A and B are shown apart, each in its own frame.
Chain A
Amino acid sequence: MTMLQIDNLCLDIHGTEILHDISLSVGPGEILAVTGESGSGKSLTALAALQLLPQGATMRGQITLADRPLSDLTEAELCARRGRDIGMVFQEPMTALNPVQTIGAQVAETVRQHHHISRRAARLRAEETLVRVGLSPDRCPPDRYPHQLSGGQRQRVVIAIAIVLGPQVLVADEPTTALDVTTQAQILQLLARLAREDGMGLMLITHDLAVVAQHADRIAVMRHGAIVETGTARAVLSNPQHAYTQSLLRAATRRVELPPRTATTPLLSVQNLSRSYRMPRRRLLESPQLVQAVHDVSFDIQRGERVGLVGESGCGKSTLTRAILGLEPLQSGRVTLAGTAISPDKHVIRAARRHMQVVFQDPFGSFNPRHKVRRLICEPLHLLDTAPSENERNRMVDEALFDVGLTSSDADRYIHEFSGGQRQRIAIARALLIKPDLVIFDEAVSALDVSVRRRILDLIALLSSRHGLTYLFISHDLSVVRSVTDRVMVMQAGKIVEEGSTHNVFTNPRHPYTRKLVAAVPHLDTTELPH
């Protein structure tokens, strides 16, 4: 018996074919993972299952929910099924809840939409479900508003909304992509548990193969709007048939070849750095609470070292980065770069920046859209005391572009003509233009698809061996940090709780928080797949 069956689904939006001949099925208690990179059409497949398609979409093929083809149903009949027979969990828990309604009311609404029961009874049912998804009334009462909850808690509310009526199928579209790694593990376990306990079919949309490996019974791999391979999780992951699946798996598992470390003289030294923020007062006559974003942090980076900094959102790593870059004043402590202490003095900061550059996360946000690549790359030249001649400058731009695998003709194009991965290459070219001693990678690959990410990491390794880079690699993604660093620091609540060689920290974590982090990372180890 199948709960949800999709046969030969084709989808056009304004005449452009987006999905082509998709066939899938989910049985009771079964977890089907639909995976692929961005633009593969996996989210639209999910929305098609609920018949919540964007305007201008036309669909062919058949979708059957609990043995009833959806195409036979009127919109009113579809409404009667959504929320009752099929539920959906969305990617972005921060925006998926109505900000002006309590969480209890939002869960109860699903109940009252489908059953004519009293407000009180619906509220009781909602409370039970909130407990079931791990939001007990003593710690997170149902009269809270969404903005008072963390991202993980909000996602639990969204799940409660979707499962409160015990649907036959739950569609989860990248339910953990926006969450921290430890929260991600909890939410995935919750979803898997609910599917098994209720005999509910779970269609899990994810770009992360490791998530797939740990939880899915079956896998469908999508690319360019079509399914390229499907089968049991074990079969697909251990013996992928299609070349694309093979390349995805390679990208996710292969290690980057870092060149051996070279000389060791101190480059960056951070001593007793602290930075706190004032929190808004909750009550009138309360003294304001201080939050220690960074608390008494000290570390050194040697020339030629590749150091990682990992931690979950809010741990203080971005504040620390901004402090090192001199973008934010220090409250106490000292940062010394190449022998000079960084002070708020303009000239000192300018001199320091000559020695360090940064690559940011967002490949769409880190460039002024109105400038051509040549001008964008040349921006750090302001830091030099003598401006290079035009010829010299062009030579430097050509060299920098070549270094990152682009060509000199790219210098005269606008940034919107490039893909995300290419933009990140341009960001690296800009950072390396003035040959800084230290490069800071601030979540530099977090926004990229797995295969693009792999190529950028390879590029970083290549540039390391070519130029002997020293860098600080900041990321929430442990597996990325593991692959491109020699040494790693783990940050929690403003403090560095563990530090050591990358290999040691990951294979033999000592601090309980590090252990929790490492355990939460989904593994893509093809030898331990579920049967």
Chain B
Amino acid sequence: MSRPFMLGAVLSAGFILMALLSLIWTPYDHTGLNIPQKLLPPGGAHLLGTDHLGRDILSMVMVGSRTSLAVALVALAIGFSVGVPLGLAAAANKGNWLDEAIMRGNDIVFAFPLLVMAILITAVFGPSAVNAIIAFGLFNIPVFARVTRGAALPLWEREFIMAARVAGKAAPRVSLEHILPNILNVLIVQATVQFALGIQVEAALSFVGLGVQPPTPSLGRMLADAQTLVTLAPHLAIVPGVAIILIVLGLNLLGDGLRDILDPRLRRRPA
């Protein structure tokens, strides 16, 4: 276990626990307006200060992290559960119409930058957290399909896969029994990367008003509110920004560490 990996694990676990804790307890009611107590700097009764409506920032960060993590996680689940089977199917049918169709479809989705996709979806259905999730979920599908196919293809040339086929197993079964377990490490690492990206995407979309809508707090929404007040009270922007950085940093360090731990090439071979 390397030190960066431990740091990543602690940071990720810390924020996830804090988000879960916010379900049952926060220092203050995050919706409670308290105008006399507005724009308090960090310290004192409000550990991280208050915003322009006098709401407690620590409580908002706790609830906001929960929203951000949830958005990122659901979008990740969409991308993983659709993209991985597509990638496995493409690799199992390399070169035929199915593979071609999947990869072509991927290219098309890739041509739409994430933000453009979110803009299109918002233009049609209006801005909401669900639409932000759908946009990022759609974006994740080709990412996972591509990574899965790329990792699975060399395995199909390996002899143990041929041995399994000679042993009478059909392609879907080979994919599930032999391919998937052997590429799971790659997928887990990719999942942490996409998870971290999801946090940033939620923040960006909510910042420009295409994501989570008021009154639901999210880290991106807090930054959007802070934009006009940043000169007056910099901590309104600094606190949620640092929270985003720490979550993303934690997840990325975790992913890097997992890559090293799960990499079969680094595993010990017999002498």
Q: Is chain B in direct contact with chain A in the complex (CB below 8 A)?
A: yes
Residues of A within 8 A of B (CB): 325, 327, 346, 350, 353-354, 356-358, 360-362, 365-370, 379-380, 382-383, 416-419, 427, 430
- Which chain A residues lie closer than 8 Å to B1 at the CB level? none
Interface residue range, chain B: 20 to 34
B169 beta carbon closer than 8 Å to chain A = yes
- Asked whether, in the complex, the Cβ of B167 is within 8 Å of the Cβ of A366, the reply is no
A353 near B163: Cβ-Cβ < 8 Å:
no
**Quick check: is B269 within 8 A (CB to CB) of the other chain?**
yes
Say whether B122 faces chain A, with CB atoms less than 8 Å apart.
Answer: no
> Are B270 and A358 in contact (CB-based, < 8 A)?
no
Are B178 and A368 interface neighbours, CB within 8 A? yes
Question: Which residues of chain A come closer than 8 Å to B158, judged between CB atoms?
Answer: 365-366
Nearest residue, chain B, Cβ from A427 = B163
Cβ contact within 8 Å between A361 and B182:
no
Q: Are A383 and B270 in contact (CB under 8 A)?
A: no
30 pairs of residues in contact across A and B, judged by CB atoms under 8 Å: A327-B165, A346-B170, A350-B168, A354-B168, A356-B166, A357-B166, A358-B163, A358-B166, A360-B159, A360-B162, A360-B163, A361-B159, A362-B159, A365-B159, A366-B158, A366-B159, A366-B160, A366-B162, A366-B163, A367-B160, A368-B160, A368-B181, A368-B182, A369-B182, A379-B164, A380-B166, A382-B168, A383-B168, A416-B267, A430-B163
Q: Check: B214 CB closer than 8 A to any chain A CB.
A: no
Residue from B162, B164, B268 with most neighbouring chain A CB atoms (10 Å): B162
With the chains together, A403 CA to B60 CA distance in Å? 69
> Of A327, A350, A418, which one neighbours B162 at CB under 8 angstroms?
A327
How far apart sit A362 and B269, CA to CA, in the bound complex (Å)?
15
Residues of B within 8 A of A419 (CB): 270
Residues of A within 8 A of B267 (CB): 416
Sort A-B residue pairs by CB-CB distance and give the 7 closest, nearest first: A366-B159, A360-B159, A379-B167, A383-B168, A380-B167, A365-B159, A382-B168
When C-beta atoms are compared, the residue in chain B nearest to A419 turns out to be B270
Q: In the docked arrangement, what's the CA distance between A417 and B181, Å?
A: 20
List B131-187 residues whose CB lies under 8 Å from chain A.
158-160, 162-170, 178, 181-182
- Of B159, B268, B269, chain A has the most CB atoms within 10 Å of the CB of B159
In the complex, A370→B160 CA distance in Å? Answer: 11
Q: How far is the CB of B240 from chain A (nearest CB, A)?
A: 42
- The residue of chain A having its C-beta at the shortest distance from the C-beta of B163 within the complex is A366
Q: Quick one: which of A346, A350, A358, A417 has the most chain B CB within 10 A?
A: A358
**CB neighbours of A370 from chain B (8 A):** 181-182
**Assembled-state Cα–Cα distance A301/B270 (Å):** 39
Assess whether B264 is interfacial by the CB under 8 Å rule. Answer: yes
B residues in contact with A361, CB < 8 Å: 159
Select the residue from B167, B178, B268 with max chain A CB neighbours within 10 A: B167
- Residues of chain A contacted by B162 (CB below 8 angstroms): 325, 327, 358, 360, 366
Further contacts, 5 of them, CB under 8 A, given A353-B168, A360-B163, A380-B168: A358-B163, A361-B159, A366-B160, A366-B163, A368-B178
Given A327-B166, A369-B264, do A417 and B270 touch, yes or no (CB 8 Å)?
yes
Query: In the complex, how many angstroms separate the beta carbon of B42 from the nearest chain A beta carbon?
Result: 48
Give A358 to B162 CA distance when docked, in angstroms.
9
Least distance between B34 CB and chain A CB atoms (Å) = 57
CB of B168 within 8 A of CB of A416, answer no
Within 8 A of A (CB), among B238-270: 264, 267-270
Question: Contact at A382–B169, with CB atoms within 8 Å?
Answer: yes
> In the bound complex, what is the Cα–Cα distance between A418 and B270 (angstroms)?
7
CB-CB < 8 A to A380: which residues of B? 166-168
| Chain B min CB distance to A427 (Å) | 8
Contact residues in A for B169 (Cβ distance below 8 Å): 379, 382
Residues of B within 8 A of A365 (CB): 158-160
**B179 to chain A: closest residue by CB:** A368
B267 → A minimal CB distance (Å): 8
Interface centre among B163, B165, B169, B181 (most CB of A within 10 A): B163
Which residues of chain A come closer than 8 Å to B264, judged between CB atoms? 369
Contacts of B170 in A (CB 8 A): 346
Question: Smallest CB-CB separation from A375: which chain B residue?
Answer: B177
Contacts of A358 in B (CB 8 A): 162-163, 166
Q: Determine the distance from Cα of A327 to Cα of B170 in the docked complex, in whole angstroms.
A: 11
* Closest beta carbon of chain B to A379's beta carbon, Å: 4
Assembly CA distance A279 to B167 (angstroms): 31
Task: Return chain A residues, CB-CB under 8 Å to B163.
Answer: 358, 360, 366-367, 379, 427, 430
Within 184-232 of B, Cβ neighbours of A (below 8 Å) are at: none
Please measure, in the bound complex, the distance between the C-alpha atom of A356 and the C-alpha atom of B166, giving whole angstroms: 8
Knowing A369-B264, A418-B270 are in contact, say whether A383-B167 is a contact too (CB < 8 A): yes
- In the complex, which residue of chain A has the Cβ closest to the Cβ of B268? A416
Chain B residues whose CB sits within 8 angstroms of the CB of A417 once the complex forms: 270
Chain A nearest CB from B158 CB (Å) reads 5
Chain B residues near A369 (CB, 8 Å)?
Answer: 182, 264
- Bound-complex Cα distance A327 to B269 (A): 31
Chain A nearest CB from B115 CB (Å) reads: 35
A456 to B176, CA, bound (A): 33
Q: Which of B160, B166, B178 is within 8 Å of A325, CB to CB?
A: B166
Residues of chain A within 8 A of B164, CB atoms compared: 368, 379
